[in-house]
A = this chain, B = another copy of it.
Amino acid sequence: MASAQHPVERALANGQTRIDFQTAPQRYRHWKLKIDGDVATLFMDVDEKGALFEGYELKLNSYDLGVDIELADALERLRFEHPQVHVVVLRSAKPRVFCAGANIRMLAGSTHAHKVNFCKFTNETRNGIEDLSEHSGLQTICAINGTAAGGGYELALAADYIMLVDDGSSSVALPELPLLAVLPGTGGLTRVADKRKVRRDHADFFCTTEEGVKGKRAVEWRLVDEVVPGSKFDETVAARAKEFAARSRRGAVGQGIALTPLTRSFAENAVEYGSLSVAFDRTGRIATITLRGPSAPPPPQSADAMVALGAEFWPLKLARELDDAILHIRLNEFDVAAIVFKSSGDPAEVLAYDEFLDGNKDHWLTREISHLWKRVLKRVDLTSRSLVTLIEPGSCFAGTLAELPLASDRSYMFLGRRDGDNKPPAAMALTAANFEAYPMSNGITRLASRFLADPTAVEAAKSERGKMLDAERAEKLGLVTFALDDIDWDDEVRVFLEERASFSPDGLTGLEANLRFAGPETMESKIFARLTTWQNWIFQRPNAVGEEGALKRYGTGQQPVFDTRRV
């Protein structure tokens, strides 16, 4: 999973050489998606033998990244393939256990880099569940028929409504601290405090009690919404699903579209997609992602024509490919220091697609595509690699694609033409989408974050919507970091990228995680700032991961030995 220089201690199962984020329902090993009218049920039924890596089994519906990749896939399909669904019920297909959380042996044997990125992906998936409810009107009920411990309860916390069977033994629990000396880091602490708004001393009690809380107290303390006797559980869940479905804002829409498999080919130093290429410079530790403009302009004539294009519709296709490329780099290519975004195509054609989306923005499919782009761009923001956009002659960073330079730590724009090259000078353009469609996890747009000091700069940029902005103009508007001409370009860019690769990878991760998120914090951004960062710290501490630490000693019968200093 890592590069050649850094062999992992654990091999991927079945001789796989990389983690694949693409799957489809017919290949699921851990989930079953059942659809009945406007209610979908997503059954968690983890295959013990279906672990992503060798060396552990996924007992008691515990999960690893492979299980979560399937969940994320199922959620995307609910969005795009099943627009008639109004409610999703999350439940277990196993008796007396909902989910035991992240697999402990997997965690104990993972590299720090995998642990951190596994948690990030699961967090994104849980945020996606909330996004599904808030923006797609697809509400989630979690029906807990047994023990929901650790990551199991954290999954439940992402739902709109939590039901717990009242059988005298089933409970919800966050036993990470007492059992493993780590945190409920997949949103657990943040959602308990900020979403469920559990009183802090109750939360303290709850999170330090291995066996968790059940029955009436679970409701009183706001940990679940309802407890239901076992004999009435199924019927009550069905009744709640009907109630929620009736209230859904999703409305009646047409048929969904099929999320057909991505066209991809992997080579030693490249990945080729339909609308996007990734090239790896191993020496420079750079991954260059080149996005291509629409291959079949102009946009379709109508929303129906868009639906007919399905997953081949360029904005959807590109978003899915970019998402896959980013995840591939995150989890399989740890040595990449910087991701360089480039593009090729006609910016006017990209603008036309943004206009098409904007003109059809009440259509369910354009809405889903916009929200997909929003989530993919958030994924970019949260990727711990230096992000750089090079806006060169022949590029098409317009509208939605202009979010990439805005998401980057720096951007360079080429001034004029390249000597001996007949490509048109670089142009950048903004559309309505840049001013509202794609908020970051801090709740505001990239332009608002960028111009925190001067909101009039946002207005100035707005007044240039739809115009082709050359490098001089884009620099003046503050949209790019540096505009450079042919004389300086190659050297400046090269020196910058070399310098970036020379810095401490950890230092850059911390720096970028701070500078990218100026302004407000939201529950979502708190998960990645406050919670995740404390968890990452703990994932480095001997009390958790040392030879005598709790994570290593779990299940061995030996007690962990702690350094007793409070830091």
Contact = CB atoms under 8 A, between A and B. Distances in A.
Given A507-B543, A513-B534, A384 B560 contact: no
Interface stretch (A61-69, A84-92, A193-201, A313-321): A193-201
A385 interface: yes
5 contacts: A181-B503, A200-B516, A201-B409, A204-B409, A521-B521
Contacts of A285: 564
Interface string A541-567: 101100000100000000010111111
Contacts of A203: 515
Given A453-B198, A453-B222, A537-B536, A550 B336 contact: no
Interface of A: 2, 5-6, 112-113, 116-117, 176-178, 181-183, 189-190, 192-194, 196-205, 207-208, 222, 285, 334-337, 384-385, 408-411, 449-454, 478, 481, 499-500, 503-521, 526, 529-531, 533-538, 540-541, 543-544, 550, 560, 562-567
A537 B530 contact: no
B530 A514 contact: yes
Contact of A200 (B194, B510, B518): B518
A564 B533 contact: no
A564 B338 CA distance: 12
Contacts of A201: 408-411, 481
Nearest to A528: B530
Nearest to A188: B514
A530 B533 contact: yes
Contact of A567 (B194, B452, B509): B509
A514 B529 CA distance: 11
A508 to B, nearest CB: 7
B2 A565 contact: yes
A511 B204 CA distance: 8
B521 A526 contact: yes
B205 A481 contact: yes
Contacts of A450: 199-200
A478 B197 CA distance: 14
A204 B563 CA distance: 37
Contacts of A543: 504-507
A380 to B, nearest CB: 14
Nearest to A336: B566
Contacts of A521: 520-521, 526, 529-530
A563 B560 CA distance: 28
B566 A538 contact: no
Given A193-B514, A335-B565, A537-B537, 9 more contacts: A5-B564, A193-B452, A193-B517, A201-B411, A202-B481, A285-B564, A506-B541, A509-B567, A510-B535
A566 B535 contact: no
B499 A208 contact: yes
B334 A566 contact: yes
A506 B538 contact: yes
A207 B447 CA distance: 21
Contacts of A113: 565-567
A282 to B, nearest CB: 11
Contacts of A6: 563, 565
Nearest to A189: B514
A387 B204 CA distance: 11
